[in-house]
Every structure is written in structure tokens, then in C-alpha cells.
Structure 1
Amino acid sequence: MDALSSAASVIAVIQLTGSLVKLCGGYIQEVKDERDEIFTLQRAITGLQGTLQDLLILLQSNDGIALPSSSRLASNITNCLSDLQALEAKIDPGKGKKLMRKVGLRALKWPLKRAEVEGAIQILERYKTSFLLSLQVDQTSLIVGVAQNTDRMNQNMDLAKLEGAMEAEFESFANRDEVQCLQGTRTELLQQIMEWAMSPSQKSIFWLKGMAGTGKSTISRTVARSLKDANHLGASFFFKRGEGDRGNAKKFFPTLIRQLMLRISELRSGVQKALDDDPDIASKSLKEQFEKLLLQPLLYLDQLGRQPQTAVMVIDALDECEHDQDIRNILRLLPFLQKAKAGRLRIFLTSRPELPISAGFADITDHEYQDLALHEIPEEVTEHDIHLFLQDRFTKIKHDRYIAPDWPGDDVIQELVTMSVPLFISAATVCRYIENAKWEPKSRLAELLRDQAKYVSRMDKTYLPILTRLLDDQETDESEQRQLLQEFQQIVGVIILLAVPLSINALSPFLGIEADQISNRLDSFRSVLSIPSDQGPPWCLRLSFA
């Protein structure tokens, strides 16, 4: 029953209660012995009538929209009407009205016994209680609805002024096809990350670093999914160079703040104040955005005495941010979030160990962050995970392409594992090459095993952008580009070809290049070369880089 139908039924009941009140009033005037009983019944009917009138006002003011208690209310109104009609039939003289006109009201006799009156009063009180409950539920619903609408309006106001990079968020449509870690892989690492996220005593920043192709973004998506399922994902930003707003930091903080306001609703008033004070704050410097839109609203929560609740921000591929200075500024600002105790914000951040990021973390004290290098995880662990990954992908290929279950065999899988370790992207590249729908999978695999140059050529997508960015520096002229290429061939080429890795100090006399110059050049290749912080030798993660 909709609100309008309910209102019509309530009106009918109100009219009937009015008739009953009048009938009781007539008896009270003419009947002496049962006057107290009649008065008590009349008062119960009047109380029910008042509740019904309040309910009618609510129903009529709701524009015909069904309320939460509508279905139960309809049933109660029908039953109440029936019981009141039965009561009316008992106390209304009916045809005796003619007799009453002839002999007067003094001929009236109260028809109900005490027990019947008490029973009727109990029934009336039950209906009154039921209608009061419906009234309270519906009033609360309307109040909450108004509050939610107001919140949504305020939220829309905030979000309209905070233009974010929606495609950079976890589970955005742009990232719908991105994979997460296969079940059974990365188990210890994922457990370590989640334990860090959930423990209040851990450091505020977790930096997961790894060279190109080690699977950082896949891990980020898996962590984001686990945090979201646990209701602890505060916000996310997945950088990607060359992908519009995902490739720079212009909308980095607005994107995070938009998400945090949904997770921590109390932030909204502080963010709104910042926007009211400076409507253009979202276009100001990163420092201004961070302090006014994020840090100050979080600190205000501490003043409100809000209980600490963990919220983790996932920031993936910071190295993909196009401007090195923006990277440094972000890393300089994020540690200040630990000042806000009520928010208990944690930052899970992934990147390649490139110079701007390594330098940025070098300026952060050790007690503020912890780090883990993916390329330093024991090779047997990575090999096990890549083996599971390849088995899973080949199972799908066999199912989709109707291939015999014994293909390609354990020996071939192991050969592909050996080709891929320690890079997950190598294994993924192999699978994409083989499962291409335009070609027959068994033939593609045979070609790949015969001529691994086909595989190496596809790895160019991973490594060429690194070299291209090095040469595309607008401040580098043609002669400097030639020098960079020459030094790359001299230094990196030798490192790749060496059977036994040599330290930088050992490479210097061998190449005839100063050690400082070698170190400076290698800093540009931290994404593909492991460069120890001590005096250890640099080494190449994959021969395919050659």
C-alpha cells in the first residue's frame, strides 16, 4: 500500500474513533455506575486518535512515497478498523436511536462488562504503540533521508570543486582488465603487507620497490582488493605515464581526498571550509593542496576526539609520475600524515627504485617507513610463483583452444619458468604471445622455443620506454644524446656481457671511466639494473635487456 492509500485508510479510522468518542461521551453523561470505565475507554480511544492524526500528517507530507513501515502499517490499519467497527457495533444503540428519541437517553444502558472494557483498552493501546513505532521509524527515515540528501549535496559541492583523475582509482573502468595476483602466489609478501596495514604499531609508509617487470602493480591491485574487502581501503592512485591525468601529480591529492571523504565522512566539513576559503585551492601547489585539503581536515578530527580507524592509501607506480620534482614533493609531504592520530592513515607505495624516489626516501627517517625490494626476494620463491602462474595460464589456453591436457608438458613449463625468472612480466609476455587468437598456440610455443629473439623483441615494450625517457630530456641536445648512447653502450653493455659482475671501482680502470661518472650514469638505469647501496657490483635483472 502506498502512502496515499494508507492516508485514506487512516482517515477512515480517525473518523470512526471520532464517532466512538462521541458515543462514549453520551454514555458518560447518562450512565452513572460505569462512568469511570467508560471514561477510561474514551481516553484510550482519544489517545489512539491523536497518534493516528500525527501519522496522517506524516503520510500526507511525504508526497505519496511509500515509507519503510508502509506494508506493516497497512495491515495494522485494516485490523484496527475492523476491531473499532466491532466495538462500535457493541456500544452503538443502533435501531435503539428511535427509542432513545422517544424515551430519552436515560434509557441507555452500558452494554460492556468490566472485562470487555479492559480487553478493548488493551487492544487500543497495542494499536497505539504499533502506530507510534511506525511513526518513529518513518520520521527517523525521513530525517536520515534529508541528512543523507544534504550530505550528498555537500559531497557533490565538494567533488565538483575537487576534480579528480577517476581513471587512476582502483577498479576504475580504465583498469577493468588489469589482473591481480593468482591465488597461491605472493602469499608471504601479501600477508606481510596486510599485517603491516592492520597493526597500529607499524610504520606509516610501506615502500614496495622493484625493477621493471617484477609485478608491483599486480601486487598493488591485490592489496587494494584485500583492503577494500576488509573496509580499510582509504584511497588509491595508480600512476601511468602518458595516460592523461594518471601521468602527473596535478590531480593526485584531489583524487585521494575525494575517496577519503567517502571513507571518513567527518573530513567533509574541513575540506569544505578549505574550498570556501580558497575555491581555487585544488589548482595550487602540491604543498598547499596537501596542507589545506588533507592534513588540516585530518588534524581537526583529532580535536573532535574521533576514535582511530585504519585507512590505507594505495599509491602505485610513483615512478610513472612525469615530473621528478613532483615525486620529491609528494614524498616530502606524505610523512606528515602520521601527525593525524584519528585518521591513522597508512600509505602503501610502489615504484621502481629510480633516483628521484630513492633520494626522496633518503630524506625520510627510518622510523617513518619500511621498504622491501621485490627483486631481492629469494629466487626460489619467485620461481615457485611464476611456475604456478604459467600452469594456470596454460590450463586456460588448453581449455579455450581445445588442446590436449598433456600439452605442453612439465619440461616445457620449467623451461619457460627459467626464461622468465625473476620477472613476472616475462611470463605474462610469453603467455600473451602464445594465446594470441590469430595463431595456433602449439605452433607459437614451438616458434618461441626455437627462436627466443621473438620473445626478446616483445620485452622491448618494458625496457625501451626507460631508454627513450633518458634521451627525450628536453634539456639534452643532440651531441649530449650521442654521448649518452655511447656511455650506455660502454658501461651497461659491459655489465651485461660480464660473466662475473664487477664493482664500480673495478669497472672504472677496465673502462677507463671515472667511478663517479659510472655511478652517475647507472643511476638512470635503476629500473633495470640492481645497483647496491654498498660497494657491491651492479647486475642486470634480465639478459633480454641486452
Structure 2
Amino acid sequence: MEVVGVVANVIAVVDLSAKLAVLCGEYINKARNATKDIERLKNESEALAKNITQVRDLLGNKNDKDEGHKRKLKASAEFHDDVTECEERLKLLVTKLDPGSNPSRMKMLGKSLKWPFSCKEVMDNVESLRRWREAFATAMQVDQLRIAVRMDDDLDMRNLPEAEGAHFDAYDQEKEPFCHQETRKDLLRQINDWVDDPNGKCLFWLRGLAGTGKSTISRTVARNFAERNQLAASFFFNRTVEGRNNARLFATTIARDFIRRVPQLRDRILAVVKEDPELARTILRTQFKKLVLEPLQHLTMKGPLTPTIVIVIDALDECDSETTDLELDRSRIVVSLLADLATVTGVKVRVFLTSRPELPIRLGFRDDVPQDSHQDVALHDIPDAVIASDIRFFINSQLDVTRSLYRIPPSWPGANKIGKLVEISVPLFIYAATICRFLMDKRKPFPPQKRLDSLLSHTKRAKTGIEKTYKPILEQLLLGVDEFEQEDLLQQFRKVVGTIILLADPLPMASLCKLLQSDPEEVEYFLGSFHSVLNIPDDAKSTQSIKLFHLSFREYLLDNSAGDNQFWVEQDRKHNELFELCVQVMTAAEGRDFYLKKDICSLDDPGVYCEDVDEEVVRSSIPRHLEYACLYWFHHLRNSQKPTDNETKILRFLKSHYIHWLEAMSWLGRIDQAVEEMMALDDMFRPLGSTTSDFIVDARQFLTQHKHAITVAPCQTYVSALLFSPLSSAVRQQFWYEVPERKVAGSGYK
């Protein structure tokens, strides 16, 4: 039942009840009989009109375009039948009492009106109107309470941050593949049997080398159990995406998925967050215990059999360790936390986990997980014949698309070449997928037949599985190009593609070009050659980010251990270039519309609270490329070869834009990150004992002292933060010119 329909009926009742009260008033003045009956009906209709007007105001006007005034209030929808019945009764009463609408029943006696109802009819109508009035009042109270509770819940949800795009069905995952219906059949059947087995183990660990198809299997498993209404949560780690490359948002994201998929868990999780709003900032073990384990331990679901819920965790190896201590490695901790779910009894919990067989994860399963609570399958242990059969199905299905796209005869490429493709692909599904995308790409200058022949000949020279996946495709870039042009192309490759693989968080095409300070048409044209290895939106103006199809492409470009990778991207050097680009983006320059400055959102109100400013205002004032520079300049500095070599650039940036950066970070909700980075910067430069290190120490103290004010009201950076800093503060002295004059006068300063 749409709330707009309820509103329409309510408005009709408002009008009719008001009209009934007016008509009763006329009868009191002009009728000679039944005065008390008329007054009773008039009083009840007036009370109903007052009550139903409040309901109308609560629901909102049906013509109001603001969806905020069209609340879908469940209780209001439930009394739709009462509203409809009330409307029909009021229509009858008005029709009977209105001489203009029914003169045959309303006889004028001189200047008097004859009251048309008996005493019993009046009492029946008054009682009906009273009953409806009380029903409406009750429903309105319920809905007002529901609004208050929902607002409270929304506030609690803000304290439950999630990693964007981590769910299997997230918007960012839309183009990611699932298993072909004829592939992985035995493995998927084994996973289904494990979930359905009442005595099945809690954990299922699917391990395999890079490119063996683990993530595709994970997405398929998640989708299958979502369709069976058994999926409780999913988290897909990704080393190249902020928020998904570490475990900081792991527990909170799982908890939010619980709220979405298991309604019985909602109230308990929100109650925990309400009790401790800072829970998301505590250690991972505490978060997981309070938000995941304990809610599940208190969960009981009705039914003759204990129900089973499934949690899918993909690519755990892509979770940043955040330490060199194997005991404290985040991926190992996640394994031990997931093992604790075996203690849940009110519902059967099954956790499907994939990763490469990295040491911390292996140690976690060996030392931290009871043997009777997990099982594992190694993809590389599956017989080659089974993998070859699956890959053959996949290649044939993709070649069907290519033949249709290019109108190629069905005899191409022939059994012999398909056999070679299968042979060189096993056991790497990523190779087969990459080659098929390459053959399908209409942006390539040569037809698929020629491309396939070239790839098969180049593949023979490749030394490793990853090399044979990417080297033949990248070498197509250099075909028919002389030595000097090759060097230009390789420089452009390292500039553009090298940036994409090392970004801390993927960027859309337009934002990438602004960060690189490059012509969008040139970058778009250049990237046209890489659609088989990069997921590039067709529309260059799209807000979707450019992403890697697979992490192994990044790993190939960063590896030059053999000394002959001409596409090698020197990681620490590239990070240094990105640090410099971030600083340039944040710094004012001729022709640059967006950069760090005081009152970046142009609000002209130093006291405005962060929560009172619409997110769109912030987004339009701090566009994506500037946001990236603010959030990740320190990330690139820290990963450069020798961060302290940038001492002069850092001091210049901090003395020009430090408090502007703090304001921007506050608008972005990342002041905690700023605190951590200033502490790390202090640790990095303190041993130098230089002017730079002295300024950094003062800058860190400034932020620590005024963190709360800056977090709540970003523009207080220029008012209370500067005014109440010590006179000796280097930050105060450097940025005193930014204090608004009216505030200085009010404080006795000039």
C-alpha cells in the first residue's frame, strides 16, 4: 500500500469532517429539533477533523515532491481500511445534511431546517466517528514512535561504518564474473553438501594460487546462498581498494550485512552500538566479539530444524598484515575470530573462506583453529583433467561471443588452437579470461584471428604463468613501433597504468586525469589498448572507477626479479611521483578551480556543524581528485624510497596548507586518519632534528589539542583552534592571518 494513497484518503477525511462540522453548525442555528443530537455530531466531527489533520501533517502533503514528507509509515498504511470506511460514512452524512446536494431529503420549513436523523442514528454515527478517531490517534502515536526509533537507529548506523563495495552484490561488483554453469560443478556441489550437512564443519577454506578462480567461485557461492535466503554476510577483500585492503572495517561491515540480511539480529547489534558509540574504533577482537559473535550466540530461529546461515569471505590474503609479527598478522587474527563462530548453537554457521596459501593464514589454520571445526580444499590439487574440462567450456562459450561479434565462421579457431589455449591456461582461469577479453575487444587494430595467432606465438617465450598471461598482450602495444616511439609509449604506460595499479583507492577517468594533470582525450585513447586487463567504463565521464580485473596484473608489473620486464613499474619511485602529484593538486595554481583553502565549502559561517552541511555540498567543493590527494598524499610519501628526501616539499606544503588540510579532512570525516598520519610523520622526521621536524611536532600537538572542535565544526580550525593555541605555537604564528577579523576583535586581539 503506497503511502500516497493513504494521504489522499486522509486529506478527503480532513475536508469531509470539517464540512460536516460546518453543516452541523448551520443546523444548530436553523433547525427546530434535535439540538443536542446535532451538537454531539458536531463536537465529534470537529474532534475527528483536528485529529485527522495531525495525521495528514505527519504523513505529508500528497503533492509534496520532497520524499522526506512521504514517510512510509507502516501503521498508517495498516489503518487504510479504517480511513476508507470513515471517508465513505462522512460522504453519506454530508450528502444527507447538505440541502444543495440532496434537496429532496432536506425540506426547508420557512427559514428552518429539518434534522434528518433519529436519535439512534446520531448515536451510531457519533460512536463510529469516535472509534475511527481513536484508531487514528493510536496509529499516529505508533508512527511517531517509529520515526523516533528510526532516527535513533540511523544515528547508531553512522557509528557502524562499512567498507564500500565489499559485499558480493555491491554496485562495484556488478561486472565481476560468476562461474559458467558448466564449470566448477563438482566443487560447487561439494560446497552445497557441506552447508546442508547438519554435522558439517564451521569453516571451509578454499586455497589456491593467483589466477586460479577463487574470487569467481566466492561470488558464485555467495549468489547461490543468497538465492536460498541463507547468506548472512559477505566480505571481499581487495588490496587495491581503500577499506577493503585491511581489517579495520571487517567486523562493522559484516554487522551491517547482518542487519540487512538477518532482521532478527538488527535490534541487538544496534543496541550494542548505542551502548558504545566508539566500538568501531576498538581493537578488531572486541569489534568482532560484540558485533558478530555475541549477536549470533543470542540468536534463536524458529523451525523444526536448526537453520543454517552462510558467511562468505574472499581473498583474505589481500588483507594488509599491518605488522611484521606473524602472531599479530591481521589475516591470521581473522582466521581465529572466524573459528570462534563454531561455538554458536542457536543457528548453524558456515563460513566459506578463500585465500592464497600465505604463511600467516596457514599458521592460523594450523595453530589457532581446531581440526574438527574446518575443512579445506586446494584448487591446485584438483586434477588437471577436471580443470582443463572447465576451462574448455569457458573458452568455447567466450569464443561463441567473439565469433558472433565479428561474424567469424563457426570453424574458427579450430580444435587444435582451442586445445593449445586450454593447455597453456591450465590451471590459471585468469589466463583464459584475459585472452578471451583480448580477442573480444573491438578497440584493437587487428582482427581476432591475427591477435590469437600472435598470442600463441609469443606465449612460447614466457617463463611463468603470470608472465604468459600478460606479456603477450602488453607486447601488442609495441608492435610495429620503432625504438624511440617504444620508449615514449613505455613512459606513458608507466605514467598512466603505473598510477592506476598503485592508487590507494581507484579513481574514475576524469579524476585520474586531473590527478595526473593530463589531457583526458589522450589518456582515454591510450587506455583503449588495455581493456582486457583493466576494467574501464565505456563512458569516460562515468563516475565508476577504473579497476584491475585481477591483482596478478599489478604483481606482474611490479616484478622485475628476472631483470627483463620492459613494462616494469618501479614501485617506490612511482609512489614518490604520486606524492608530488597529490601535493600539487592540493596547492593553489593558475587555472586550477579546486585546491585547499580556508572555508573550502564557501559557507561563510565559522560555527556551522559538520553534520548540518549536506554531503553534496562537500562533494561539490572537494571533488574526487582533490579528496584523493587529501586522503593519500601521506600514503604515497610513506611508500616512496626515502620519504625524508622530500623534507623541503613537506615543510612548504605544511606551512602553506596545513590547517586547510585539517578543515578538508574534517569535512571528509577523516580527522582520526589525520591524527595517525601526523604522529607517523613526527616519528619519520623527529630523528632529523630540523626545522621541518620542529614544525611537525607543533602541528601534531595543535591537532591533538583541538581535535574535537575541528571534528564537530571544521571551520573552527581558523577560530577557536588558533585563538586558544599558545602564543609560541608555530602553527598559530604561521596561520594567524586566517583568523576572521570579527572573532579577533571579540577576543581582544588585533
TM-score by length of 1: 0.67
Paired residues, number: 445
Which residue identity is paired with 2:293? L
Please identify, of 175-184 and 454-463, the stretch whose mean Cα deviation from structure 2 is larger: 454-463
Q: If you compute each CA radius of gyration, which structure gives the higher value, 1 or 2?
A: 1
Q: Structure 1 residues 357 and 155, CA, compared in 2 at 3 Å: closer, same or farther?
A: same
CA displacement, residues 403-429 of structure 1 (integer Å, 9 cap, x when unaligned): 233322334323322222232122113
Distance 1:135 1:13 in 2: 18
CA displacement, residues 28-76 of structure 1 (integer Å, 9 cap, x when unaligned): 99xxxxxxxxx9x999999888767654553355453576477995796
Task: Indicate the residue corresponding to 1:259 in structure 2.
Answer: 257
Does residue 377 of the first structure (1) align with residue 390 of the second (2)? no
Q: Secondary structure at the match of 2:351?
A: strand
Match of 1:77 among 81, 84, 87: 87
Distance 1:367 1:235 in 2: 23
Q: Structure 1 residues 356 and 63, CA, compared in 2 at 3 Å: closer, same or farther?
A: closer
Task: Indicate the residue corresponding to 2:350 in structure 1.
Answer: 346
In structure 1, the gaps of 5 or more residues are: 30-38, 101-107, 472-546
Q: Structure 1 residues 133 and 212, CA, compared in 2 at 3 Å: closer, same or farther?
A: farther
Task: Indicate the residue corresponding to 1:224 in structure 2.
Answer: 222
In structure 2, the gaps of 5 or more residues are: 1-7, 63-69, 71-75, 471-550, 562-750
Which residue identity is paired with 1:335? A
Does residue 328 of the first structure (1) align with residue 332 of the second (2)? yes
Task: Indicate the residue corresponding to 2:246 in structure 1.
Answer: 248
Distance 2:47 2:177 in 1: 62
Task: Indicate the residue corresponding to 1:517 in structure 2.
Answer: none
Q: Structure 1 residues 177 and 74, CA, compared in 2 at 3 Å: closer, same or farther?
A: same
Give runs of aligned pairs for residues 159-308 of structure 1, distance below 5 A. 159-265=157-263, 267-272=265-270, 274-275=272-273, 278-301=276-299
> Contact 1:205–1:369 (CA<8 Å) still a contact in 2?
yes
> Contact 1:55–1:135 (CA<8 Å) still a contact in 2?
no
Give runs of aligned pairs for residues 129-148 of structure 1, distance below 5 A. 136=135, 140=139, 143-144=142-143, 146-147=145-146
Distance 1:278 1:390 in 2: 52
Q: Secondary structure at the match of 1:245?
A: coil
Shift of 1:2: 6.8
> Contact 1:247–1:320 (CA<8 Å) still a contact in 2?
yes
Distance 2:409 2:125 in 1: 77
Match of 2:456 among 436, 449, 454: 449
Q: Secondary structure at the match of 1:164?
A: coil
> Contact 1:13–1:81 (CA<8 Å) still a contact in 2?
no
Distance 2:447 2:104 in 1: 91
Task: Indicate the residue corresponding to 2:19 in structure 1.
Answer: 12
Distance 2:257 2:424 in 1: 41
Distance 1:410 1:393 in 2: 15
Q: Structure 1 residues 27 and 259, CA, compared in 2 at 3 Å: closer, same or farther?
A: closer
Shift of 1:219: 0.7
Shift of 1:343: 5.3
Q: Structure 1 residues 98 and 224, CA, compared in 2 at 3 Å: closer, same or farther?
A: closer
Q: Secondary structure at the match of 1:165?
A: coil
Does residue 429 of the first structure (1) align with residue 434 of the second (2)? yes
Shift of 1:469: 8.9
Distance 1:308 1:121 in 2: 58
Shift of 1:83: 5.5
Which residue identity is paired with 1:214? T
Does residue 392 of the first structure (1) align with residue 402 of the second (2)? no
Match of 2:109 among 73, 92, 96: 96
> Contact 2:232–2:257 (CA<8 Å) still a contact in 1?
yes
Q: Secondary structure at the match of 1:220?
A: helix
Give runs of aligned pairs for residues 374-523 of structure 1, distance below 5 A. 374-436=379-441, 437-438=443-444, 439-453=446-460, 457-459=467-469, 462=552, 465=555
> Contact 1:4–1:60 (CA<8 Å) still a contact in 2?
no
TM-score by length of 2: 0.50
Which residue identity is paired with 1:465? E
Which residue identity is paired with 1:399? S
Which residue identity is paired with 1:388? F
The one of the two structures with greater contact order (alpha-carbon pairs below 8 A, sep at least 6) is 1
Does residue 64 of the first structure (1) align with residue 61 of the second (2)? yes
Q: Secondary structure at the match of 1:459?
A: helix
Q: Secondary structure at the match of 1:182?
A: coil
Q: Secondary structure at the match of 2:206?
A: strand
Distance 2:281 2:559 in 1: 27
Distance 1:356 1:139 in 2: 58
Task: Indicate the residue corresponding to 2:575 in structure 1.
Answer: none
Which residue identity is paired with 1:212? A
Distance 1:470 1:159 in 2: 46
Matched-pair identity in %: 31
Distance 2:123 2:449 in 1: 83
Task: Indicate the residue corresponding to 1:493 in structure 2.
Answer: none
Q: Structure 1 residues 341 and 12, CA, compared in 2 at 3 Å: closer, same or farther?
A: farther
Which residue identity is paired with 1:9? L
Shift of 1:203: 1.9
Distance 2:439 2:154 in 1: 47
> Contact 2:96–2:105 (CA<8 Å) still a contact in 1?
no
Distance 2:111 2:249 in 1: 86
> Contact 1:48–1:124 (CA<8 Å) still a contact in 2?
no
Distance 1:429 1:142 in 2: 59
CA displacement, residues 362-417 of structure 1 (integer Å, 9 cap, x when unaligned): 23223212222222334333222212211111111122223233322334323322
Q: Secondary structure at the match of 1:333?
A: helix
Q: Structure 1 residues 52 and 395, CA, compared in 2 at 3 Å: closer, same or farther?
A: same
Shift of 1:313: 1.7
Q: Secondary structure at the match of 1:7?
A: helix
Shift of 1:459: 2.7
> Contact 1:215–1:423 (CA<8 Å) still a contact in 2?
yes
> Contact 1:91–1:111 (CA<8 Å) still a contact in 2?
no
Which residue identity is paired with 2:154? N
Task: Indicate the residue corresponding to 1:511 in structure 2.
Answer: none
Shift of 1:218: 0.2
Q: Structure 1 residues 92 and 369, CA, compared in 2 at 3 Å: closer, same or farther?
A: same
Q: Secondary structure at the match of 2:233?
A: strand
